[in-house]
Copies of this chain bind each other. A is one copy, B any other.
């Protein structure tokens, strides 16, 4: 059983979290998912979501899969030194780290992405780049893989990336079966990006 930990913070983007959670979570024989925030407790966002989380330090020994979403809250959290420090420790010890949208900015702040390939969403692209200029940011990509780091473009791209992650680790037939169960038109090619011309 693979331990999945999802980071939450105030004003996380709803689908950044729950898209990957749907793709992994429906395989209850393979993945168990827990939600974490810096101080634990209820975390909310502007979509009216209020969700329970555990203390992030409980994940300090590492996870199999660490997921970092984006959202407006990242504008605050990039400057939250205790949070970035914990993200760094957990990311270093996790087997894989997946970011969605501006979640890449939080991971990049740890400097673990320096000189690695990564992507993020289109609308906030320049802001994310300004947060960590030693990352090799790739604008035209649905998602990017560099070693254990998976980074996706905005919001919905997190679902495509998660299916890509499942494909890389469990085979493309399994990933396609999940996409079909979700009735999701999975874009299997991580380099094809409809939105980079926007």
**A residues lining the B interface (CB < 8 Å):** 13-15, 17-19, 21-22, 24-26, 28, 32-35, 42, 46-52, 121-123, 153-157, 159, 180-185, 187, 194-195, 198
Contacts and interface: CB of A to CB of B under 8 A. Distances in A.
A18 B25 contact: no
- Between A13, A52, A121, the greatest number of chain B beta carbons within 10 A of the residue's beta carbon is seen for A52
A21 B15 CA distance: 8
B155 A184 contact: yes
A13 B185 CA distance: 18
Contact of A195 (B17, B28, B42, B183): B183
A26 B153 CA distance: 17
Instruction: Determine how many copies of this chain the complex contains.
Output: 2
Nearest to A19: B15
B183 A153 contact: yes
Contacts of A15: 18-19, 22, 182
A156 B180 contact: no
Contacts of A18: 14-15, 17-19, 49
Given A15-B22, A21-B49, A182 B198 contact: no
A180 B48 CA distance: 22
